Structure 1
Amino acid sequence: MGKDHAEKFKKKIAIWNDNDNPFRQFLSRIADKWSLLVIVVLANKPKNRCRFSELKKEIPGISQRMLTTTLRNLEQDGLVTRHVFPEIPPRVEYELTDLGLSIRAPIKVLFNWLRENWPAAKKVREKYASIKDN
């Protein structure tokens, strides 16, 4: 029984040991800080969509290049749809897909956990920094 359990565990964690695993790549893409922020901003917009410039204004510190890359990756993974309007100048809006909308609840749980646990983590960080400084 112990050996069977060990084999099952190995199979479960194999996903984390393979950099070429598509599941791991998908998780890495969704879990990066910019993707989470883009999803959250879009989720809080009317009809879950907005223009590139609105996203850039609402995500402090993101560069135009990083926002472009993040949106492209989210579109590639089916979380965001890009709408181009034939106007002059061209208008482009980004919208969460059904798949993108489905990740809102897990993100909310994660953000709530972060909010609740940040004070404790901050104390540990400060203690660690004071030990390292001495």
Structure 2
Amino acid sequence: MRVDFYQLSRDPAEAALPLIARNVMKVGERLLVVSADPKQRQRLCQALWSLGEDTFLANGMAGEGHEDRQPILLSEAPQPLNGANFLAIADGQWREGETPFVRTFFLFDDSTIQHARDTWRMLRGREGVEHYHWKQEGGRWIQAA
């Protein structure tokens, strides 16, 4: 299992997540995006549909039907109804599904940084978990030491 911690400083999750999702789609995987905030899920949905002028990332909301068809599913719970192996946690609140995801993208900001630190320490003690910390620098994501 791999967990990538993304420290949001300049951009909100709505700006970072479409780039992550695009890379997930490029490798032929499905993505589950989790946030407890329904307004944030709606903003994320819009951001995915409007990635660029000629590009969009098809997605749907859990509870609206056809979840199993969605390449990207937005939900409040870590239940991969779309068969996703990849999880993106957009609201900075760590949660896990019953079955571990192959890869998790954990997005957090200044308001959730302490929770992210606690999560990092908790995962550090688990066998078989790789974790990486990414931060924004000059508009790019770099791996933090």
Q: If the length of structure 1 is used for normalisation, what is the TM-score?
A: 0.31
For the pair shown, the structure with the greater C-alpha radius of gyration is 1
Higher strand residue share: 2
Higher helix residue share: 1
